[in-house]
Structure 1
Amino acid sequence: MLASSALSFVVLFTLTNINVSERTRELATLRVLGFYKRETVMYIYRETIILTIIGILVGFIGGYYLHQFIMSTLPPNNAMADMTLYWTNFAISTGLTLLFSFIVMLIMARKISKIDMLGALNSVD
């Protein structure tokens, strides 16, 4: 569980970091046009929240069928394991994903607030 939690955090952080890095000029433009820092941060947060919720829902469906396939294909011969999925499995994974998403958003808020507007708008792509 620790490894999957770390993987989840790293994936969320990397995708959000790439999203912010690729859109630095766009965010700087919004700030120059008069958007407040909070509005600029919420611009990215909305996307992150929506994509996180979509990812959780798709993960429920895909994870359920993947679990069924693996448990029917590779049943453990030497181990006694409960092969059913409970609602707590889904609740814990949802809670951890939302927690990691919140932590990543807090980290990215600092990065978004520190964008050098002049440097971002002067850079040549």
Structure 2
Amino acid sequence: RETIILSALGIIVGFGFGWWLHHFIITSLPPDAAMFDPNMYPFNFVFSALIPAIITAALAVVVHHKIKKINMLDALSSID
């Protein structure tokens, strides 16, 4: 659960910081030979949020299945 919460908070904070960083780079470092579109579109935010959300969900499923296979009594009784 903590990983999912931290990923959601990271996505939300990343929206603000990413917008600021995009604006800073596009306005302060434009190349001489090309000009980029300085606008941010809703699809940019959706796509940038979906990538970490899908990776987090896939890792949560894998870790959940691995944790379910652990015998807790054996894990508590081991000396390691």
Q: TM-score, normalised by structure 1?
A: 0.56
* Structure 2: gaps (5+ residues): none
Cα displacement (A) at 1:123: 4.5
Q: How many residues align?
A: 80
Q: TM-score, normalised by structure 2?
A: 0.81
Which protein shows a greater Rg? 2
Question: Identity over aligned residues, as a percent?
Answer: 45
Is 1:49 matched with 2:4?
A: yes
Cα displacement (A) at 1:56: 0.6
After superposition, what is the alpha-carbon deviation per residue over 1:68-97, rounded to whole angstroms, capped at 9, x for unaligned? 111122112112321221111001111222
- 4+ long deviations beyond 6 Å: none
- Greater helix percent: which structure? 1
Is 1:95 matched with 2:41?
A: no
Q: Aligned in 2, Cα 1:73/1:115: closer, same or farther, shift over 3 Å?
A: same
The higher-RCO structure (CA 8 Å, 6+ apart) is: 1
Q: Which residue of 2 aligns with 1:104?
A: 59
* Structure 1: gaps (5+ residues): 1-45
* Distance in 2 separating the partners of 1:55 and 1:122: 37
